[in-house]
């Protein structure tokens, strides 16, 4: 009977040691998996932060470029409006097509924030006699 009890205790003890060992290994693997996932999440967050920073820099450059192009457009529109209006005033009349073109120039100039010089010339041209093309 003692031999049987010894065998039962030995088998049970070995099984218990194996069970505890497996539980510890499972817990360690689970912890490692969570640590790996946390590290992957941190890397992804870092990559996302870098991408956002790069996008913000690019957007800043684009906004600056657009501002420069708007200023260039305004300058060109002012020059063209000024030149055309002076020619029409000097001539003493304006044709229908010239008036339409001048209105288009002035509207774009005005929407871009053109100042009073262009407005004054445009209003003077609108007072000129209109002749057919």
Between CA 74 and CA 109 the distance in angstroms is 6
Between CA 92 and CA 124 the distance in angstroms is 11
- Name the residue with tokens 């992804």: 44
pLDDT in tens, the chain (133 residues): 656 556 566 666 667 677 777 778 878 888 888 887 888 878 888 888 888 899 999 999 999 999 999 999 999 999 999 999 999 999 999 999 999 999 999 999 999 998 788 999 999 999 999 999 8
Between CA 46 and CA 28 the distance in angstroms is 27
Between CA 110 and CA 107 the distance in angstroms is 5
DSSP state of 128: S
The answer to whether 101 touches 61, Cβ cutoff 8 Å, is no
């Amino acid at each position: 009977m003692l031999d049987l009890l010894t065998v039962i205790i030995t088998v049970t003890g070995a099984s218990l040691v194996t069970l505890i060992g497996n539980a510890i290994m499972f817990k360690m693997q689970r912890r490692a998996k969570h640590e790996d996932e946390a590290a992957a999440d941190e890397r992804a967050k870092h990559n996302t932060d870098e991408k956002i920073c790069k996008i913000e820099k690019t957007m800043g450059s684009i906004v600056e470029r657009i501002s420069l192009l708007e200023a260039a457009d305004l300058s060109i529109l002012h020059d063209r409006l000024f030149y055309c209006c002076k020619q029409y005033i000097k001539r003493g009349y304006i044709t229908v097509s010239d008036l339409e073109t001048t209105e288009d120039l002035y509207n774009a100039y005005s929407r871009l924030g053109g100042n009073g010089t262009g407005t004054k010339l445009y209003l003077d041209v609108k007072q000129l006699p209109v002749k057919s093309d």
